[in-house]
């Protein structure tokens, strides 16, 4: 528990927040985006925005893998799972992500599809070993953090001669999403996204290192600070970003030095490169089609590719038109600005993907932030109830 105590020390956080307030007292406004859902969760859970001065604000980014999975891909997963010979293995959160027409994997399971919740790719591999007469399909999602384990499972399946294991691959990449945010067109009513700097991904960067952000920081003149997911990591990263802006710098800095290096994990990178290649284009929920932003299995591994094996062709599907996930994932709106937030949409009845995973901006705000909204409203209205 020693580390958790240290990285969640309230007195140190307040001290650092005072430094942010001192350094940000320059008559300017600072707006930073935390890319990762893990950071979004930490910011909501620990009330980090409450510690910041009014001229330092955070906007949420698209780094929650469950949130950016488009409805059309969930439709594909449901179709796969409904095949009588298939057992679809997936993480719990994905079960509740809305597909088209309000369908979910959870509902498909209730309707008789064989869908099993797993904690890792290796769980799916074990099911394939023990049930050779079933077609075991692993629904793979996630950024560069979860891609190496998928690659390892595919290589293990080949070594073991497993003929009933395949992967429905939805792995996506971080740098193209950051680029998409920076090149994003204005949102509703012509509102433009303004991001002065990024808190860069934590776990992703343990695999990729910090190098992939160098080009983006230089091209768009935006500082990036890679930071851990503990509250002090996040507050420290904000302070580092404020310093960079004040000094007119746009460097890539590493706050998460206890795990991240510039080069990253070379072995994990090699495993990924051995099994996967870039897709020409991939749809992200909220961001649309992004070139070279996702991975697919190389043809050498086609026998483990569920898309190839089951002839999947994704048909894009529209989201619920009242759901604001798209604008929230681009940092243009906050969860409480969605009309459905807390009324028709809650973690019990998610209408959009951002309300599903604890890393989703809407779910995090529902769990930790909605009470603060109420408190702020009461203070404004001068009421005490
Ligand atoms: S509150 Fe629900 S409907 Fe609104 S943006 Fe969030 S997930 Fe979508």
DSSP string, 66-80: HHHS-HHHHHHHHHH
**134 alpha carbon – ligand 1 mean position (Å):** 37
**166 alpha carbon – ligand 1 mean position (Å):** 32
Atom of ligand 1 nearest to the CA of 354: 7
**355 alpha carbon – ligand 1 mean position (Å):** 6
Mapped onto helix, strand or coil, the DSSP state of residue 31 is strand
User: Among 351, 364, 367, 373, which residue has the most ligand 1 atoms within 8 Å of its CB, making it the best to mutate?
Assistant: 351
pLDDT the model gives residue 189: 67
**2 alpha carbon – ligand 1 mean position (Å):** 37
The DSSP string of 225-276 is EE--SSHHHHHHHHHHHHHHHHTT---EEES-TTT--SS--HHHHHHHHHHE
Q: Strand 288-291 vs strand 252-254: parallel, antiparallel, or unpaired? A: unpaired
Q: Does residue 328 have its Cβ closer than 6 Å to ligand 1? A: yes
pTM: 0.92
User: Among 67, 354, 360, 361, which residue has the most ligand 1 atoms within 8 Å of its CB, making it the best to mutate?
Assistant: 354
Contacts of 93 (CB under 8 A, 6+ apart): 66, 356, 357
Angle, CA of 15, 17 and 20, to the nearest 5°? 120
375 burial class (0-12, 13-18, 19+ CB within 10 angstroms)? exposed
* Series of mean pLDDT values for 10-residue runs along the chain (385 residues): 79 95 91 94 93 94 91 97 98 93 94 96 96 98 96 98 98 95 76 88 97 96 97 97 97 97 98 98 93 97 98 91 90 91 92 90 89 58 47
pLDDT the model gives residue 384: 41
Helical axes 121-130 vs 147-160, angle rounded to 10° = 20
Q: What are phi and psi of 122, to 5 degrees?
A: -65, -30
Q: Does residue 364 have its Cβ closer than 6 Å to ligand 1? A: no
Atom of ligand 1 nearest to the CA of 352: 7
C-alpha to C-alpha distances, 260 to 50, 68, 200, 251, nearest whole angstrom? 28, 25, 11, 16
**323 alpha carbon – ligand 1 mean position (Å):** 5
pLDDT the model gives residue 49: 93
Q: Does residue 351 have its Cβ closer than 6 Å to ligand 1? A: yes
Please, which residues bridge with residue 171 across strands?
Answer: 142
Q: Does residue 340 have its Cβ closer than 6 Å to ligand 1? A: yes
**373 alpha carbon – ligand 1 mean position (Å):** 16
Q: Residues 140, 150: contact at Cβ < 8 Å?
A: yes
Report the C-alpha gap between 59 and 34 in whole angstroms. Answer: 7
């Amino acid at each position: 528990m020693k580390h958790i105590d240290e990285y969640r020390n309230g007195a140190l956080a307040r001290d650092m927040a005072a430094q942010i307030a001192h350094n940000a007292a320059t008559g300017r406004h600072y707006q930073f985006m935390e890319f990762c859902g893990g950071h979004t969760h930490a910011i909501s859970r620990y009330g980090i925005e409450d510690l910041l001065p009014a001229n330092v604000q955070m906007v949420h980014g698209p780094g929650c893998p469950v949130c950016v999975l488009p409805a059309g891909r969930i439709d594909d997963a449901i179709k796969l799972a409904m095949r009588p010979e298939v057992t679809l293995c997936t993480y719990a959160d994905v079960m509740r992500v809305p597909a088209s027409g309000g369908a979910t994997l959870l509902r498909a399971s209730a309707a008789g599809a064989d869908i099993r919740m797993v904690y890792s790719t290796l769980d799916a591999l074990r099911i394939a070993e023990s049930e050779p007469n079933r077609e075991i399909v692993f629904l793979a999602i996630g950024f560069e953090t979860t891609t190496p384990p998928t690659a390892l499972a595919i290589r293990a399946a080949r070594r073991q001669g497993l003929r009933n294991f395949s992967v429905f691959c939805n792995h996506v990449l971080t740098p193209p999403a950051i680029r998409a945010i920076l090149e994003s067109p204005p949102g509703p009513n012509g509102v433009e996204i303004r991001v002065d700097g990024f808190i860069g991904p934590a776990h992703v960067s343990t695999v990729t290192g910090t190098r992939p952000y160098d080009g983006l920081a230089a091209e768009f003149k935006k500082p990036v600070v890679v930071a851990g997911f503990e509250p002090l990591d996040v507050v420290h990263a904000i302070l580092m970003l404020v310093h960079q802006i004040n000094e007119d710098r746009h460097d890539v800095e590493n706050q998460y030095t206890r795990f991240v290096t510039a080069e990253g994990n070379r072995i994990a990178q090699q495993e990924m490169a051995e099994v996967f290649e870039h897709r020409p284009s991939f749809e992200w929920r909220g961001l649309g089609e992004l070139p070279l932003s996702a991975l697919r299995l190389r043809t050498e591994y086609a026998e483990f590719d569920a898309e190839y094996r089951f002839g999947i062709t994704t048909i894009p599907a529209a989201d619920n038109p009242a759901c604001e996930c798209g604008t929230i994932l681009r940092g243009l709106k906050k969860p409480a600005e969605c009309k459905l937030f807390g009324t028709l949409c809650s973690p019990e009845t998610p209408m959009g993907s951002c309300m599903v995973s604890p890393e989703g901006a809407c779910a995090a705000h529902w769990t930790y932030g909605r009470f603060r909204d109420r408190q702020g409203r009461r203070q404004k209205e001068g009421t005490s109830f």
